Amino acid sequence: MIGSLQPQEPERIDAPPAAESAGTASPASVGAGEATEPSSEEPPQVRSVATVAPSAGEPRLSFVFNLAKIAGQGEDSDPILRDGRELGLVAVFDGMGGAGGTVYETPDGPRTGAYLASRLARDIVEQRMLELLDPEWNLDGAAAAADLERSVQAALQSRLAELDAPASGLRSRLLRALPTTMALVALQRREPGGARWACHLLWAGDSRAYVFQPGLGAHQLTVDDIRDRGDAMANLREDSVVSNAMSADTEFVVHHRKIELTAPFLVIAATDGCFGYVPSPMHFEHLVLAALRDAPDTDSWSAAVQAAVSAVTGDDAAMATLGVGADHNGFRELFAQRTAEVERRWVAPLDDLDADVRERERELDALRTALRKRQAQLWAAYKPGYERYLGPADTRETP
**CATH number where 218 lies:** 3.60.40.10
Alpha carbon distance 194, 263 (integer Å): 9
Please indicate, yes or no, if residue 252 is contained in any of the structural domains. Answer: yes
Task: Please indicate, yes or no, if residue 104 is contained in any of the structural domains.
Answer: yes
pLDDT(46) > 60? no
Closest listed residue to residue 70, CA positions, set 100, 115, 33: 115
Q: Residue 378 domain-assigned?
A: no
Structural domain includes residue 364: no
Residue 227's pLDDT band, with cuts at 50, 70 and 90, is confident
The mean pLDDT of 33-38, rounded to a whole number, is 34
Residue 6 has a pLDDT of: 61
Has residue 36 got a pLDDT over 50? no
CA atoms within 13 A on the CB side of 372: 5
Q: What pLDDT, on the 0 to 100 scale, is given for residue 345?
A: 96
Mean pLDDT of the chain: 85
The one-letter amino acid code at 334 reads L
- Greatest mean pLDDT among 66-75, 108-117, 197-206 lies in 197-206
- Number of domains, the chain: 1
What is the structure's pLDDT at 165?
A: 66
Tally of CB atoms within 10 A around 225: 21
Exposure letters 267-295 (e unless 16+ CB within 10 A, then b): bbbbbbbbbbbbeebbbbbbbbbbbbbeb
Q: Write down the pTM of the prediction.
A: 0.82
* Domain membership flag for residue 292: yes
Range of the domain at 188: 2-165+174-351
pLDDT at 27 over 90: no
- Pairing relationship of beta strands 196-204 and 109-112 according to DSSP bridges: unpaired
Question: With 50 as the cut, is the pLDDT of residue 125 above it?
Answer: yes
Distance between CA atoms of 177 and 120, rounded to whole angstroms?
13
Assigned domain for 392 exists:
no
Handedness of CA 8, 12, 13, 18 (dihedral sign): positive
Question: Could you tell me if residue 371 is inside a domain?
Answer: no
Q: Does 214 fall in a domain? A: yes
- Rounded to the nearest 5°, which phi and psi values hold at 172? -160, 145
Query: In which band, very low, low, confident or very high, does the pLDDT at 396 lie, cut at 50, 70 and 90?
Result: low
The pLDDT score that the predictor gives to residue 101 is: 76
On the question of a cis peptide bond just before residue 10, with omega within 30 degrees of 0, the verdict is no
